[in-house]
Amino acid sequence: MTAHSAPTPSAGSSPPAAPASPALPGAVHLSSGKVRELYAVGDRLLLVASDRISAFDHILETPIPDKGRILTQLSLWWFERLADLVPNHLVSADPAEFFQTARYPAELAAHADELRGRSMLCERLDMFLIECVARGYLTGSGLVEYRVSGTVCGIPLPDGLTDGSRLDEPVFTPAAKAEQGEHDENISFEQASRRVGPVIADELRRLTLTVYSAARDIALDRGIILADTKFEFGRRADGTIVLADEVLTPDSSRFWPADQWQPGRPQQSYDKQFVRDWLASPQSGWHPKSDQPPPPLPDEIIERTRDRYVEAYQRLTGRTFQ
């Protein structure tokens, strides 16, 4: 992964400088995801989505304007839609509200404009150490395992499935969180049970499949296949299991245009197809397997990709963006 790889050291042997953490006065930077930043603010957490985009396991140097806001608004919409199925970690998405209680430092108020729309103030939870993935269609690492052993995370699947096949029943395919830049590692339900305990593992599977199924039905009604998705859950001090992180965005899920679904080949990505096609084309002068960083995106690809994020948001929510 390249987002936070250290700069190339200049001649000599001095160690490369650590990347500066993205400063936000009044907040303590905790960690950087590929495209998001996590801060502590008082006893809450602040999740801030950037406009960064990844492709072929690289963070591109070209941002997609409004992507962070669009994905945050989509997450918020899903939290609202799914609130009857599972409690979530959202406290407030309104920076004006963040600062009304004494817990939030006044310095942050000066940054309300840059945070607006792209940030969520959340309860700080005790996170479970597994990624909770639901798959309703077979692709990616699930397909790789299936081709070797006929299973996904140890769950046997029928013969004859191919890239993009719909599964009769969605499956819970947990993963172990990898170090930054590495891919999460699929694990069996038994391994997940050892990590979180059997009672919690059962409940996480139930919640994951319930929430995925509800979202899959909503998305399909609007012409979008939600092939799979990754949830993160945590626990409140009173033991309640809470849905955390971002949910059901194109960064945490595979969205496919339903009218182009055709099992037996890699599916078109709802959001990133133009980026992938251009990067893989001779025009980019770059190769997906190259160790070089990908080149900047042309304006046309930026615009069309932004349009796809807006379209996904508008189709799913029935709302207009901005």
Positions in the binding site for ligand Q0Z (CB under 6 A): 31, 33, 36-38, 45, 47, 89, 122-125, 127, 234, 244-245
User: At closest approach, how far in Å is the CB of 70 from ligand Q0Z?
Assistant: 16
**Smallest gap from residue 242 Cβ to ligand Q0Z (A):** 7
Q: DSSP per residue over 177-199, as a string?
A: PPPTTSPPEE--HHHHHHHH-HH
**Residue tagged 């700069």 (tokens):** 7
Report, in Å, the least distance between residue 127 CB and ligand Q0Z: 5
Distance between CA 199 and CA 306 in Å, rounded? 42
In contact, 97 and 115? CB cutoff 8 Å: no
Minimum CB distance to ligand Q0Z smaller for 244 or for 301: 244
Q: Find out whether 249 and 34 touch, Cβ atoms under 8 Å.
A: no
Strand-pair partners of 14? none
Judged by CB, which is closer to ligand Q0Z: 47, or 143?
47
> Which residues partner with 230 through β-bridges?
133
Q: How far apart are CA 260 and CA 268, in angstroms?
A: 7
Q: By C-beta, is 21 or 268 nearer to ligand Q0Z?
A: 21
Tokens of 56: 């072929």
Q: Which is nearer to ligand Q0Z, 67 or 89 (CB)?
A: 89
Q: How far is the CB of 35 from ligand Q0Z (least distance, A)?
A: 8
CB of 151 to ligand Q0Z, least distance (A): 28
Q: Name, in order, each residue with C-beta under 8 angstroms of 108's C-beta and a sequence gap of 6 or more.
A: 24, 25, 26, 27, 41, 95, 98, 99, 115
Min separation Cβ 250 and ligand Q0Z, Å: 16
Nearer of residues 139 and 229 to ligand Q0Z, judged by Cβ: 229
Q: Which is nearer to ligand Q0Z, 72 or 317 (CB)?
A: 72
- C-alpha distances (whole Å) from 177 to each of 10, 129, 180, 205, 302 are 33, 7, 9, 16, 31
For the CB of residue 98, give the shortest distance to ligand Q0Z in the complex, in Å.
15
Closest approach, Cβ 79 to ligand Q0Z, in A, equals: 12
| Beta carbon nearer to ligand Q0Z, 90 or 187 | 90
Q: How far is CA 75 from CA 135, 170, 174, 313, in A?
A: 19, 21, 21, 10
Query: In degrees rounded to 5, what are phi and psi of residue 261?
Result: -65, 130
Q: How far is CA 88 from CA 15, 125, 216, 244, 245, in A?
A: 42, 10, 19, 6, 9
Q: Which is nearer to ligand Q0Z, 125 or 201 (CB)?
A: 125
Residue type present at position 259: D
